[in-house]
Structure 1
Amino acid sequence: ASPGSTGRPRDRPGSVRPQARSGRDRTSPTVGAMSGRRAKGPAPRASLEELVRLACRTEDEASQIRPRRAALLPRVALALGVCLIALALVLAARTMLTAPTGQEAPPGRRAQSPVPTSSLPPGDQDLVPVDPASPDSGPAQVVVHVAGAVAVPGVVVLRPGARVADAIDAAGGPAADADTDQLNLARPLADGEQVRVPRAGEDTSTWAQQPAGSGSGQATAGQTDGQPAHSQGAQAGGLINLNTADAAALEDLPGIGPALAERIVSHRESHGPFATVEDLLDVPGIGQAKLEALRDRATV
């Protein structure tokens, strides 16, 4: 440098001196990136924070797009509902068409029909079923007069099918001097008969010799003309009165069992006394062959 100069080198001809920039003109790349302003000069590379924010923004936008397949769900649900309703209607119609009527018999059972008694053999007519609700099924109760050696003699009311032992119990039981060994305690009772309990040492052989129709029907174990002494309606000649004999006495007729004997008594109580022996044909289960077999042993 020449003397008197300022000490700074002179500019060469044709050269351009760079001008210094102030602090305002200089922009820090870091500050521009953080503040969001565009930095002067060449664009800096994207920072990690911007990449993360960009990735997050892309995910939010993608999540706002609803899948196309979701729009098909209402149609599928509607179609499924229509199918279910149609299936329910078909099943209901099938059930109504195949339902059994009230007139049909249950599976495995055959409808019962009445069996005419005329078509049965003579030996099988005792097995004809009788409707319990029919008028000929017997009385609803059995009224019996209990007399003799019992605690409380008198009239007792028993259920149908009661036995001699039931009548004695209803009368307070046998007395201390009663001789029940002479009685058939298992004999079924008929409505309106009398049960007489003998005392010890009492002769019961005269009880069965009372006139028919006296209503005695005593329950004893004696025998008269080969017939039980307790049989009500048994006459001295061995004939059995159809209008006064009880069920036990009617069983002594040929071919008459317990079932037919009860039917004869029930028919007599419902329709009145028999006018002739032939009226037995009106009793269910008695045919012409059975009538001929017992005609000589019965009377009215």
Structure 2
Amino acid sequence: MTENVVLPAEDRPPHAGEPLPARARLGVGAVVVLVLLAFAVTIGIGMVRGATGTEVVEPAVSASPPSAADPQVGVYVHVAGAVREAGLYRLEVGDRVADAVARAGGFAEDAARDGVNLARPVADGEQIVVPVTGAEVTAGGAAPAAGASDGVVDLNTATREQLDTLPRIGPALADRIIAWRDENGRFTSVDDLSSIPGFGDKMIEALRDLVRV
């Protein structure tokens, strides 16, 4: 005789249309939660990748580097002598001596205006010396070298070579005289040499009869 075994309600298979036992419902719910959790993790990973893995497009590099700026076109001339503001000036190609004198403030009151050819085109690197009234002028429009005329060197118009002929004045001191002249304008007195390093009272007295302003 077969004995009928009665299973607990939660272990018995459900009949059609009969609701699932509580334990079965919990199992199905757990599976659904795991699926949703996995789906949420997948979406989260995609969002993180989208935020941090954005593709960076490098700017296109030109095959040839940009050309450097073209240098300024022009000429540089040193205007000295009997002008209001002696110095180094930049002029345009094709400018003339008249333009250089104008850039230097024009003629000084004691300028020998006929001593320079105002119509002559200027050249890069040249020195234009406007002589003072009464000074002998060479064909180039510069004051005469030391020894010419009365043999006295004009501090306002003398070139480096002319200054170098003076006693105890070498190339270094000659350059200092020209630099002071370019920065401060004309010498108004021989005593202005005392403002230049290297010129003491004794040297100035020795030069007093050899130079003029």
Give TM-score scaled by structure 2 length: 0.38
Instruction: Give the structure, 1 or 2, with the largest relative contact order (CA under 8 Å, sep 6 or more).
Output: 2
Give TM-score scaled by structure 1 length: 0.28
